[in-house]
Amino acid sequence: TEQNPVLLLFTSETCGLCKMWYPRLLDSIARQSLPTTTIVIRPDQSTIAVPAIIELSHAQLTPELSQAYSVRGFPTVVLIADGKIQYNSGCSSAQQVRTILEILRRTAHSAR
């Protein structure tokens, strides 16, 4: 079966960069109809503004998750596609958003 790339968004309610850049990233994903499974991972009950078309799942940030993905701070994005980590870095600039979108476009194109 075809599987969507998994987008892990590590965030917290005190992360101003998360509140600024995650909605931009998710809006671009929605506008380009890029298939993803998006999971917000947080140590608290923080929320992210998202387009209605994007379905979010939520998970609790644990020390094990933090260690597994080398999370040193927020915002951290991990993109997993084709069973491999394709991106594991920040999301605090237009360039980083473009990089994530390009990986998602390549993944969507190769799945066709």
- The token pair that represents 49 in the structure block: 């503004």
Sign of CA dihedral 42, 46, 49, 52: positive
CA gap 33, 16 in Å, rounded? 26
Q: At residue 110, does pLDDT exceed 80?
A: no
Work out the mean pLDDT of the chain and round it to a whole number.
Answer: 92
- 8: exposed, middle or buried (Cβ count in 10 Å: 0-12, 13-18, 19+): buried
Evaluate if residue 32 carries a pLDDT over 50: yes
